[in-house]
Amino acid sequence: MNRISLKCENLEKSFLNKVVFKEVSFELLNGSSVAITGRNGSGKSTLLKVIANLLIPNKGKVVLTNNEEKVVPEKFHFHVGMIAPYINLYDELTALENLEFFYDLKCKKDVNISRNEYLKELLNRVNLYQRRNDQVKNFSSGMKQRMKLAFAVINDPPVLIMDEPRTNLDTEGISIVYKTAEEKKRSGILIIATNEPEDTKLCDTIISIEDYK
């Protein structure tokens, strides 16, 4: 198992001179997890985007290491998976076509299993295999959220970021998300942004973004 470390050092983000958060610092290692809480609009999603290198902080830095080798920010996407309501799908493609596209972008080829078999397993994991040939535009919001979970874990990233992961999900969908989160906690790093008490129980540590204004 690879040794993973993710360190946030004095992160600050502002928009139009309005500070969203400042001096956010914490470190996570294999097997550790954190829940980021705070009221709506407080900056939880912004912090997760900074951690995933989707936004650049005004101050501070995120340091990700794999086996003590520093990962350059441009390659974070190979090591970080993210599920979030604002992530877009290709609605005109089928579920399988969506995953084939992202598999070719993000996954190392494994000689022990074909792409088709791997994606079949992944679609079964999120209970969408029977709908694999349907265009995503015809999916319900909950089915799209499960597709986003499949995207997040398609390359088994050591760091899994979940932004409001229960969004639009029924009981079955929530169970799939929680099982995935528990699996990641055992081997990698889990970060969740949420206001749901049940979500925070998945994590060892809770950080309120409100404390960093």
pLDDT at res. 109: 61
24 pLDDT higher than 70: yes
Mean pLDDT across 172-179: 97
pLDDT at res. 108: 66
Across the chain, mean pLDDT equals: 94
Q: Model's pTM, two decimal places?
A: 0.94
Mean pLDDT across 44-67: 96
DSSP type of residue 210: G
**133-to-31, 97, 123, 124, 210 alpha-carbon distances in Å:** 36, 8, 11, 13, 44
Secondary-structure class of domain 4-212 per CATH: alpha beta
Residues 94-145 have pLDDT tens digits of 999 999 998 988 876 665 788 899 999 999 999 999 999 999 999 999 999 9
* DSSP-derived secondary structure for 43-64: SHHHHHHHHTTSS--SEEEEEE
59 pLDDT higher than 70: yes
Buried residues in 12-37 as b, exposed as e (16+ CB within 10 A): bbeeeeeebbbebeeebeeebbbbbb
pLDDT at res. 200: 95
What is the C-alpha separation between 17 and 125, in angstroms, rounded? 44
pLDDT at res. 100: 94
Check if the beta carbon of residue 146 is closer than 8 Å to that of residue 167.
Answer: no
Q: Quick one: pLDDT band at residue 198, thresholds 50, 70, 90?
A: very high
Q: What is the chain's length?
A: 213
Check if the beta carbon of residue 8 is closer than 8 Å to that of residue 60.
Answer: yes
Q: Quick one: pLDDT band at residue 2, thresholds 50, 70, 90?
A: confident
Mean pLDDT across 185-204: 94
168 pLDDT higher than 60: yes
Other residues' Cβ atoms within 10 Å of the Cβ of residue 195: 15
pLDDT at res. 28: 97
- CA neighbor of 202 nearest in space, from 165, 168, 157: 165
* DSSP-derived secondary structure for 101-156: HHHHHHPPP-TTS-HHHHHHHHHHHTT-GGGTTSBGGGS-HHHHHHHHHHHHHTT-
Residues 28-43 have pLDDT tens digits of 999 999 999 999 999 9
